[in-house]
A and B are shown apart, each in its own frame.
Chain A
Amino acid sequence: MFNSIKPKLLFILLVLWGVLPKILFAQTPKMYFSDTSVANRPFAKDPYVIFFKNQYWMYYTIPDEFKKVLHIGIATSIDLNNWEKIGDIFGEKGTVEANGICAPSALIKDGVLHLFYQTYGNAKLDAICHAFSKNGIDFERDPTNPIFRPKISDWSCGRAIDAEVIEYKNQYFLYYATRDPSYKIQQQGVATAPINSNFDRNSWSEIPNMPMLKPELDWELKCIEAASCIKKGKYLYMFYAGGYNNEPQQIGVAKSKDGIHWQRISNDPFLKNGKKGTWNESESGHPNILKAENGKYYLFFQGNNDKGKTWYLSNVEIGWNKNGPFLKN
């Protein structure tokens, strides 16, 4: 009797041995990064990852410990999962950056890393700034900063945040989010610059008939922001955040042939906030799409499980089929 049960018991124990750790540690993803500069308060938002000088660089938003003024953190990695913080970029005192800077995006042009980011703390006066660097750490400011904000109009209060600049169809597109005149609805706009542009203030032309994308689906609530674009096949795909922080914010996808007119690929979020008890139950937001050097695609995003007391960054691998992107695993 016991002899027949023993192998079964052994088998069950072996299975549990293999499965239990996965169950117990399933809560924490492979990449689970936060900035610990503020003691007891892990905080990192708005990730942007780019390959530069043989490694991956991540620029992200953090507050300073005592005044809570936002600035940009810099971390590097060789495997996209393990990150080491190597620096900070603080807003320049006495300029439009004095109250804070955040939400960076980056591109490489002629071996120089260009950073586009927003000012913070100026409400309707927040705008997009530009800086450039040859080593990824030390940045020189564009003397024409802020380089872009939309004109005050019947659709925009004139604020610009969450910059994303991408080369597409032989010109540069600057995607930004802005609020409507009542300052309640967040929506997407776009400006363009010629391919030989130096990205200064005079380079950018507003595209008329905005907003390009505004919240319409139930889960998008009153906010679409944080566009991150990538070219794939004959389309430009935009990953965007729907809903304000922790409402929850979730990630959607739209596609476009001209970079201006967009069509959602689904009525449901592409990446939802996590289930109750998971690390991102309050939000999966502020996306950043990256084609890695190994040819794989990763979607970086921010999340938390405490309504924003802390913030972590993570990534998920995505694949592509005829309908567009899909989540792997």
Chain B
Amino acid sequence: MNTYRKGFFMFNSMRSVIFNTILLVILLSCSKQDGTTPTPDLPANLKSLKLEHPRLFLTDEKLNQLKELRKTDAVLDKYINTVIATSNSLVTKPMLTRMLIGPRLLDVSRELPKRTTHLAMAYSFTADKYI
């Protein structure tokens, strides 16, 4: 029983670490490049790296494509609207805190990426700085 429980906690904490790492990568890839940041001296194999952010998953180019596409694609428009509607309700909620339920933090760990992705996506489409 104790072994199972120990394993369960280890699994949870590992999952939390992995999750936070992924989130960090997403957030770093989404951060806007400051215009004053000096161009890094990149090694040869990274010369083709896109300097502007967001860089990895949702580039400005893709965002603009989606903005255009939603005008004619009703299903896409519905998806985007659902994300914005969810964000409207998230923005007035209290900030998340590190609140343990017994030994667990899973609720908060799940809620954080949900909020981050929804709010980031909604901001990209509305420029509403409060979502």
**Interface positions of A (Cβ within 8 A of B):** 38-41, 63, 65-68, 306-310
Given contacts A41-B92, A66-B84, contact A308 B130 (CB under 8 A): yes
Q: With a CB–CB cut-off of 8 A, which chain A residues contact B88?
A: 38-41, 65
Main secondary structure of the interface of A (DSSP, over half): loop
Is the pair A39, B85 in contact by a Cβ cutoff of 8 Å? yes
B114–chain A nearest beta-carbon distance, Å? 15
Q: With a CB–CB cut-off of 8 A, which chain A residues contact B126?
A: 66-68
Given contacts A308-B130, A309-B130, contact A66 B80 (CB under 8 A): yes
Q: A68–B123 Cα gap in the complex (Å)?
A: 10
Task: Please provide the chain B residues from 68 to 125 with a CB less than 8 Å away from any CB of chain A in the complex.
Answer: 80-81, 84-85, 88-89, 91-92, 125
Q: A38–B92 Cα gap in the complex (Å)?
A: 12
B42 within 8 A of A: no
Q: A38–B122 Cα gap in the complex (Å)?
A: 14
Minimum CB distance partner of B80 in chain A: A66
Q: A39–B131 Cα gap in the complex (Å)?
A: 14
B1 within 8 A of A: no
Is the pair A65, B92 in contact by a Cβ cutoff of 8 Å? no
**Could you list 24 A-B pairs, sorted by A, with CB under 8 Å?**
A38-B88, A39-B88, A39-B89, A40-B89, A40-B92, A41-B88, A41-B89, A41-B92, A65-B81, A65-B84, A65-B85, A65-B88, A66-B80, A66-B81, A66-B85, A66-B126, A67-B125, A67-B126, A68-B126, A68-B128, A306-B92, A308-B130, A309-B91, A310-B92
Q: With a CB–CB cut-off of 8 A, which chain A residues contact B49?
A: none
Q: With a CB–CB cut-off of 8 A, which chain A residues contact B89?
A: 39-41
B127 within 8 A of A: yes
Q: With a CB–CB cut-off of 8 A, which chain A residues contact B91?
A: 41, 309
B91–chain A nearest beta-carbon distance, Å? 5
Q: A310–B90 Cα gap in the complex (Å)?
A: 12
User: 3 nearest interchain CB pairs?
Assistant: A40-B89, A68-B126, A41-B88
Q: With a CB–CB cut-off of 8 A, which chain B residues contact A66?
A: 80-81, 84-85, 126
Task: Please provide the chain B residues from 7 to 26 with a CB less than 8 Å away from any CB of chain A in the complex.
Answer: none
B29–chain A nearest beta-carbon distance, Å? 24
Is the pair A68, B127 in contact by a Cβ cutoff of 8 Å? yes
A25–chain B nearest beta-carbon distance, Å? 21
Q: A41–B80 Cα gap in the complex (Å)?
A: 17
A182–chain B nearest beta-carbon distance, Å? 18
Q: A162–B85 Cα gap in the complex (Å)?
A: 29
Known: A39-B89, A66-B84. 13 other contacts (CB 8 A): A39-B88, A40-B88, A40-B89, A40-B92, A41-B92, A65-B84, A65-B88, A67-B126, A68-B126, A68-B127, A307-B130, A308-B130, A309-B130
Q: Which of A63, A65, A67, A306 has the most CB of B within 10 A?
A: A67
Q: With a CB–CB cut-off of 8 A, which chain A residues contact B80?
A: 66
B127–chain A nearest beta-carbon distance, Å? 7
Q: A112–B89 Cα gap in the complex (Å)?
A: 40
B115–chain A nearest beta-carbon distance, Å? 14
B56–chain A nearest beta-carbon distance, Å? 26
Q: A41–B119 Cα gap in the complex (Å)?
A: 14
Q: With a CB–CB cut-off of 8 A, which chain B residues contact A40?
A: 88-89, 92
Q: With a CB–CB cut-off of 8 A, which chain A residues contact B130?
A: 307-309
Minimum CB distance partner of B93 in chain A: A40
B128–chain A nearest beta-carbon distance, Å? 5
B76–chain A nearest beta-carbon distance, Å? 12
B63–chain A nearest beta-carbon distance, Å? 14
Q: With a CB–CB cut-off of 8 A, which chain B residues contact A41?
A: 88-89, 91-92
Q: A41–B90 Cα gap in the complex (Å)?
A: 9
A329–chain B nearest beta-carbon distance, Å? 30
B69–chain A nearest beta-carbon distance, Å? 15
A122–chain B nearest beta-carbon distance, Å? 14
A117–chain B nearest beta-carbon distance, Å? 21
Q: A65–B82 Cα gap in the complex (Å)?
A: 10
B120–chain A nearest beta-carbon distance, Å? 15
Q: With a CB–CB cut-off of 8 A, which chain A residues contact B92?
A: 40-41, 306, 309-310
Q: With a CB–CB cut-off of 8 A, which chain A residues contact B84?
A: 65-66
